[in-house]
């Protein structure tokens, strides 16, 4: 899953929230802030776990406001490392 999250999602702990949720679900991947104020993430794994992550991202942490999540799904490559912050 590749997703771009738009809204008030930077400076509110959003990346750490996504990282924590993805690790709880055992998903590899990464999350980063984009220059346009959005947050972008990539994760691989079982469809159910990815759907749980997507729901968590749509809700966001306290203090965030998620306006939109644009998610695209594709087949995983198996090349992602344990979920971490990307810079």
Residues 6+ apart with CB under 8 A from 79: none
Q: Where are the beta strands (DSSP E) in the chain?
A: 2-8, 29-33, 39-43, 65-72, 84-85
**48: DSSP letter:** H
Per-residue pLDDT at 13? 96
3-class DSSP state of 28: strand
Per-residue pLDDT at 73? 94
Can you tell me the mean pLDDT for 50-74?
A: 96
13 domain-assigned: yes
Active site residues: 15, 33
55 domain-assigned: yes
| Tally of domains in the chain | 1
Residue 68 has pLDDT above 90, yes or no: yes
Say what percent of the chain tops pLDDT 90. Answer: 93
Per-residue pLDDT at 58? 97
70 domain-assigned: yes
Domain span at residue 19? Answer: 2-75
8 domain-assigned: yes
Say what percent of the chain tops pLDDT 70. Answer: 100
* CATH number of the domain enclosing 14: 3.30.70.100
């Amino acid at each position: 899953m590749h997703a771009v999250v738009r809204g008030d999602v930077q400076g509110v702990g959003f990346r750490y929230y996504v990282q924590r949720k993805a690790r709880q679900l055992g998903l590899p991947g990464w999350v980063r802030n984009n220059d346009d104020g959005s947050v972008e993430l990539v994760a691989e794994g079982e469809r159910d776990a990815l759907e749980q992550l997507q729901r968590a991202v749509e809700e966001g942490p306290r203090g965030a406001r998620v306006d939109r999540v644009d998610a695209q799904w594709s087949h995983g490559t198996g090349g992602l490392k344990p979920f971490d912050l990307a810079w």
